[in-house]
Amino acid sequence: MTKQPILSDGDWRVRLSPEQYAVCRQKATEKPFTGAYYHEHRPGTYRCVCCGQPLFRSEAKYDSGSGWPSFWQPADTAAIAEAPDLTLVRPRVEITCTACEAHLGHVFTDGPPPTGLRYCVNSAALQFEEDKA
């Protein structure tokens, strides 16, 4: 994946909506069951809202019941970086875009086969591109 230049805080604030900025640049979390892509079922690609890098495909999306779009694998493992997140009592694994370092959400080990992973992603961090027929 191509590393994107990291913009200044002011540039990100201009480029992103307040919710996108809070999620992607300040590691906030949108409220469960409220995101634009939680109920999205069309075939397509979920891209990083900050830089456009492809992150997930609709074929790997499933209903985890968590309240956020969930995927069992990324479109390309090189598109997602993982890092420990110790901000809560229970440790988690944060996921970010490798191209622009946008916070996407977290990955958990309670997902379905074949990976057993649940990439739990904020809709605010995504931009959906429907497949062309």
Would you name the residues annotated as active-site residues?
A: 120
State the Cα–Cα distance between residues 12 and 121, nearest whole angstrom. 20
Whether 48 contacts 99, CB under 8 Å: yes
Amino acid of residue 69: P
State the Cα–Cα distance between residues 7 and 77, nearest whole angstrom. 24
Angle formed at CA 33 by CA 82 and CA 76, multiple of 5 degrees: 30
Q: 132, 127, 133, 120: which is closest to 33 by C-alpha? A: 120
State the Cα–Cα distance between residues 19 and 29, nearest whole angstrom. 9
